[in-house]
Structure 1
Amino acid sequence: MKNAILSACLMCCFSAAPALAEWGFSGSPLPNAFIQTNNMTLELQCDRIRFAPAGYEDSEDMVKKQGLSIRFMKNGSTEVGSFQAGQGNATLRIVDNYPVEVVFQDPADYQFILDQIAANAILNLSMADQDVSYGLFDLKVSGKAIRSLRSSCGSAPQAGNNTMEAPEGVVYCGGGQVKRQIEYLILDKADGEWDAIVTVNGDTTRAMTAYSYFGNAQPPQGFVVALLGEDRSEFLVFKDGNKNWLEYGDYQYNQCN
């Protein structure tokens, strides 16, 4: 009986411990600082966070609630600051079928988060409405990875960079809890591998076109082109007669102009 109780206590301690792994950095074409364990991944890009929790149900919960509490701890028990990401300051969405991507409306908010990650010992990503953690991450040597990220992002194109010329053409509208307006433009002159730009709610990113997106499989009726964003987003464009639509994630966006 004592052994059983001791085993249960050890399991609780392990589940509440921060993910023990080393921070790394990956440069061009998409700079990111990251930490990866056997069941979770946290990736810091130039203007957004991607978090793959241990279970897909956690991803669904974050997106459904449109909320994530980002807590900074100087040790295992003392919280020194936090940022509540949600409606009004950020957009949460599932990308690549699993990770949750948090895109911040104000770049200063994201810079604050990077500062706190670099300065503290543990990061606790938890539910916005209650004290339940999705994941804990050890921030040891995260400062070095973040310095590399900031250095690279200073010269790298960012997904939210609005200095690109906005597309002018068919506008697509729709979405679920988060309404989006999406527009794209195929460039006359490609920028390396990037031959298109896509704008989502005013944020523009480079993309590459793919006309054989479905490989050897027969493409769906009306398929025109796939747009593969530099931020790893994927847009499928369709046209059938007078009907124009675009598929992004689990939602269809119909022409609205």
Structure 2
Amino acid sequence: MKNTFLSGCLLFCISAAPAFAEWGFSGGQTPNAFIQTGDMTLELQCDRLRFAPAGYPDSEDIVGKQSLSIRFMKNGSTEVGSFQAGQENATLRIVDNYPVEVVFQDSADYQFILDQIAANAILNLSMADQDVSYGLFDLKGSGKAIRSLRSSCGSTPQAGNSTMEAPEGVVYCGGGQVKRQIEYLILDKAQGEWDAIVTVNGETMRAMTAYSYFGNAQPPQGFVVALLGEDQSEFLVFKDGNNNWIEYGDYQYNQCN
């Protein structure tokens, strides 16, 4: 159940209390800093966050509105900053049937969020248009967990890893002043969250597939899948009859082999 957020009073009350739990860190293929309570979880990965609210209706509400207010508080009553995640700067979607995943278009935005989480006392995830909270989290110990996350993410293999096999199949060509050649491959066995690879002009990166990229809106005719690259790029794959193309940025790339 959503809790009404009152900026003029303490949030440490029964109806709107922050989640008291210790922050943890998990390394491995998908490093993450996290805090988990009986009914809510917040997970910070290298380039995105995942929030599992107390109930599935809240996940649906966040994704339906395509907005989430990320508020930083230095104590129980004083807000010192916020970030409004929405369609103009992030992709919000439900993953694994429950958590809301927020993928930021600009890595600087996510780094700002990590900085604020590490520096403050309370995190309030709420509706962007009104004072209604989806969840409150205690940030004690978050600084250490985020330092571990950043250290691990710095050593995570990046795009263009020479050990990654380049895809072979349909090739897409086009672009504006900068011409590009794009290929992709859906993997038979996912590597953690990454279940595809994309090659652009010979450089290969991991990607995540999104078949419900447009949320509740009707997808354009011919839409097949969205490929969300680990560098936060987005490739929309289309097939309509004998026509195959990819939309990337402001350009369309048509099959050329």
Secondary structure (helix, strand or coil) at the match of 1:76 reads coil
The structure-2 alpha-carbon separation of the partners of 1:144 and 1:169, relative to structure 1 and needing over 3 Å to count, comes to: same
Shift of 1:134: 0.3
Distance 1:137 1:205 in 2: 34
Within-5 A mapping of 1:22-171: 22-157=22-157, 161=159, 169-170=169-170
Distance 1:64 1:114 in 2: 25
What are the Cα deviations for residues 116-149 of structure 1, in whole angstroms up to 9, with x where unaligned?
A: 0000000000001111000000000100000000
Structure 2, gaps ≥5 residues long: 1-11, 173-181, 212-221, 227-236, 246-257
Normalized per residue, the structure richer in helix is: 1
Distance 2:41 2:210 in 1: 21
**Other-structure match for 1:175:** none
Shift of 1:35: 0.3
Give aligned pairs, total: 191
The structure-2 alpha-carbon separation of the partners of 1:168 and 1:107, relative to structure 1 and needing over 3 Å to count, comes to: farther
Secondary structure (helix, strand or coil) at the match of 2:13 reads helix
The structure-2 alpha-carbon separation of the partners of 1:247 and 1:105, relative to structure 1 and needing over 3 Å to count, comes to: closer
| 2:43–2:50 CA contact under 8 A, matched in 1 | yes
Give the CA RMSD over aligned residues: 3.4
The structure-2 alpha-carbon separation of the partners of 1:35 and 1:198, relative to structure 1 and needing over 3 Å to count, comes to: farther
The structure-2 alpha-carbon separation of the partners of 1:88 and 1:245, relative to structure 1 and needing over 3 Å to count, comes to: closer
Shift of 1:53: 0.4
Distance 1:63 1:234 in 2: 14
Secondary structure (helix, strand or coil) at the match of 1:156 reads coil
Shift of 1:42: 0.3
**Other-structure match for 2:234:** none
What are the Cα deviations for residues 172-199 of structure 1, in whole angstroms up to 9, with x where unaligned?
A: 9xxxxxxxxx973268xxx9xx895158
Within-5 A mapping of 1:209-220: none
Distance 1:185 1:50 in 2: 26
Q: TM-score, normalised by structure 2?
A: 0.64
| 2:72–2:123 CA contact under 8 A, matched in 1 | yes
Distance 2:75 2:97 in 1: 33
Q: TM-score, normalised by structure 1?
A: 0.64
The structure-2 alpha-carbon separation of the partners of 1:21 and 1:154, relative to structure 1 and needing over 3 Å to count, comes to: same
| Alignment-mate amino acid for residue 45 of structure 1 | Q
What are the Cα deviations for residues 71-103 of structure 1, in whole angstroms up to 9, with x where unaligned?
A: 000011100000001021111011111111000
Shift of 1:168: 7.1
Distance 1:89 1:245 in 2: 22
| 2:161–2:205 CA contact under 8 A, matched in 1 | no
Shift of 1:163: 7.5
| Alignment-mate amino acid for residue 46 of structure 1 | C
The structure-2 alpha-carbon separation of the partners of 1:245 and 1:128, relative to structure 1 and needing over 3 Å to count, comes to: closer
**Other-structure match for 1:197:** 197
Distance 2:169 2:62 in 1: 33
Shift of 1:155: 1.1
**Other-structure match for 2:229:** none
| 2:126–2:134 CA contact under 8 A, matched in 1 | yes
The structure-2 alpha-carbon separation of the partners of 1:186 and 1:131, relative to structure 1 and needing over 3 Å to count, comes to: closer
Secondary structure (helix, strand or coil) at the match of 1:109 reads helix
The structure-2 alpha-carbon separation of the partners of 1:186 and 1:65, relative to structure 1 and needing over 3 Å to count, comes to: closer
Shift of 1:27: 0.3
**Other-structure match for 1:14:** 14
